[in-house]
Structure 1
Amino acid sequence: MASSLISNTNKVYFSSVLGMENEGMVAMFEALISYDLNGFLGCSSTIYEAALIEFFRNASIRDDQVVSTVQGKPVEISEELSARTFELTMEGLTDMHEVPKDLVFDARSELSFNGEQLSTSCKKREMKIEFRLLSDILAKSVTVKAGSLDAITHERFSMMSAINGGVQINWGRLLFNIFKDMVTPGSRQAKGYALQICTLLKNVPDLELGDSKEFPPLKILTAKTVSRYIAVNNNIAVEDVDDEPRVKKTPVKKELSKKRSTATADKPYVKRKRTLVGKATVVAKDSALVTVAQEVVPLQIVAPIFDVPPAPTRKASKRKLRTKPGSDDESIEKEQSVGTIVVMPKIIKKRISLAF
């Protein structure tokens, strides 16, 4: 964990960088000294790895103080103790959104590499070389923001504008608020201030910090490391800023497809037939032999071959009338009975012929 706390941290060796011949760099470091940040950015380079890990593991906020335990001993760090240790100013702005807008507007051209107006959320390579290094110092050692160092946030640009314009900043409270966010559970603030915390722990009486190691020399800003930084970033500036102006690219619609050439663009497009291979070809051949009726043929009603006679109806029984002997009705009854005897054989004969 200790290695991650110092991976993006820088220490400034002010007595070395102030002797450089680069006027822009010297002016930038002098501005940091004018804000009394030399004690905070150039503090002792001794790292106590075990004590640092234990401090962050047990740290919390209580009564607006950062409290923790190291080697079983309680540690309390207040805003006044931090400001007094690093000799930080306690007056001025604490919110970078309160920086005057006209000052930010002027900084958009003063910080620019080619003199053009910058956006407050721009790329680091678009600024002058000394402000690129200032952006790295603020991102790594002051705000301790996780993410890409190439992108300049609006907050960081406002802070650089305030430093360039000489606006008074309450560095004691601003840095302590960031420190409290580091130990707050659930906070998105990255952990840092490794050198500063070790310096505060050394001032705690009767606290054994264990073994120590020196801060990596390549992370200390001296005249040599800053000169190397200038040489590397100047080449990036010439290639990426001058040759690539900030022009918003609009997508161009392609009129023709890549697969069709201009010679065949005017011809109508003909959809290719799919060729079948294997089992699909056998199924296609068999299905080709089946003919499909083109017109619907209506159903015809066919008459039956034999005429089936209707079912015989049941005849009502005749009432037999009794007449007196010698009356006229008796003669009529005899005639009806004789007629019945004559007709019946004809009906039976007709039914026999129909059956065959």
Structure 2
Amino acid sequence: MSSSLISRSHHIDFDSVFRFDDAGIVQMFESLVTTGLMEFMGCPAIFHESALIEFFANGSVRDGMVVSTIGGIAVEISESVFAETFGLPTEGLTDLSEVPRNLLSDGQSFFSASEKEVSTSCLKKEIKMQYRLLSDILAKSLFVKAGSFDAVTRDRFLLMTAITFDVKVNWRNLLFGVLKEMVTPDSRQAKGYAIQICVL
């Protein structure tokens, strides 16, 4: 389990990505910074494998908090501590379906690798390279999905649109919700956030 936790943890070295020669990719990473995700995705890469395994083995949600024990010591992570630790925005959309339709339409043209608009659920090969990368970052780093990433789901497309067109998103609510799913028994949510949990 520990190796899968670590392989699902992605750290972005923002200093190095801003030195890329590809202006489109640099702009995409600048959009991630603007959304308030830099501290979450670029926090120091620290791993404590045995503690992570124990955290998930003993984890659950109680009174809206993620709770666990590590080495016999109780660990409680509230949504506010989670947000404060990573400087996550607390205002904005919590329901992705509220992304403005006009921006979705703009995204269908803007993300497309051709002259033809893409669907809000499309194959990754249909969109520009920097948005393929953004789709992967959202799937693997933020929502910790396992499996194939050949397609861009509607939810991912909505988030890509929000990030690209500077729509405010309540990342505290969305990402803490993912963390709660990770520790919920029998959840199908893949385990992840190894770097972030070690920071907490």
If the TM-score is normalised by the length of the shorter chain, which range does it land in?
over 0.9
**Is 1:93 aligned with 2:80?**
no
Q: CA deviation at 1:7?
A: 2.0
* Separation in 2, partners of 1:145, 1:105: 26
Aligned to 1:50: 50
Instruction: Identify the residue that residue 141 of structure 2 maps to in structure 1.
Output: 141
> Which residue number corresponds to residue 64 of structure 2?
64
The letter for the 2-side match of 1:109 is: S
Find the aligned partners of 2:51 and 2:9 in 1 and give their Cα distance: 18
Q: CA deviation at 1:128?
A: 0.5
Counterpart Cα distance in 2 of 1:33 and 1:161: 15
CA shift for structure 1 position 173: 1.1
Q: Look up the SS of the partner of 1:69 in the other structure.
A: strand
Amino acid at match of 1:45: A
Q: What is the rounded CA distance, in whole Å, between the counterparts of 2:151 and 2:114 in structure 1? A: 18
Partner residue, 1:15:
15
- Greater per-residue helix proportion: 2
Unmatched runs of 5 consecutive residues or more in structure 2: none
Query: 1:162 maps to what in 2?
Result: 162
Deviations 1:259-307 (A, max 9, x none): xxxxxxxxxxxxxxxxxxxxxxxxxxxxxxxxxxxxxxxxxxxxxxxxx
Distance change >3 Å, CA 9–CA 115, structure 1 → 2: farther
* 1:193-272 equivalent positions in 2, closer than 5 A: 193-200=193-200
Q: What one-letter code is carried by the residue in structure 2 that aligns with 1:105?
A: S
Distance in 1 (alpha carbons) for counterparts of 2:101 and 2:186: 33
TM-score, normalization by structure 1: 0.55
Separation of aligned partners in 1, 2:20 and 2:57: 41
SS of corresponding position for 2:144: coil
| Structure 1 portions without partners, runs of 5+ | 201-356
Tell me which amino acid in the other structure corresponds to 1:143: F
Three-state SS of the structure 2 residue aligned to 1:47 is coil
Alignment partner of 1:66: what SS? strand
Aligned to 1:177: 177
1:6 to partner: Cα distance: 2.3
Counterpart AA for 2:180: K
**CA displacement at 1:164 relative to structure 2:** 1.1
Deviation at 1:8, TM superposition (A): 3.2
Higher relative contact order (CA 8 A, sep 6+): 2
Match of 1:120 in 2: 120
Structure 1 residue 199: Cα displacement: 0.7
In percent, how many aligned pairs have the same letter? 55
> What is the Cα deviation at residue 185 of structure 1?
1.5
Equivalence for 2:131: 131
Q: CA deviation at 1:133?
A: 0.7
Structure 2 match to 1:102: 102
For these two proteins, the number of residue pairs brought into alignment is 200
Partner of 1:41: 41
Describe how 1:285-324 pairs up with structure 2 within 5 A.
Answer: none
Moved over 4 A (4+): none
Q: How far did 1:103 drift? A: 0.9
Counterpart of 2:43, as a letter, is C
SS at match of 1:67: strand
Distance 1:155 1:104 in 2: 11
AA aligned to 2:97 is H
Where 2:151 maps in the other structure, the secondary structure is coil
Q: CA deviation at 1:122?
A: 0.7
Query: Secondary structure at the residue paired with 1:11?
Result: coil
Q: Which has the larger radius of gyration?
A: 1
Name the residue aligned to 1:26: 26
- How far apart are the structure 2 equivalents of 1:105 and 1:55? 42
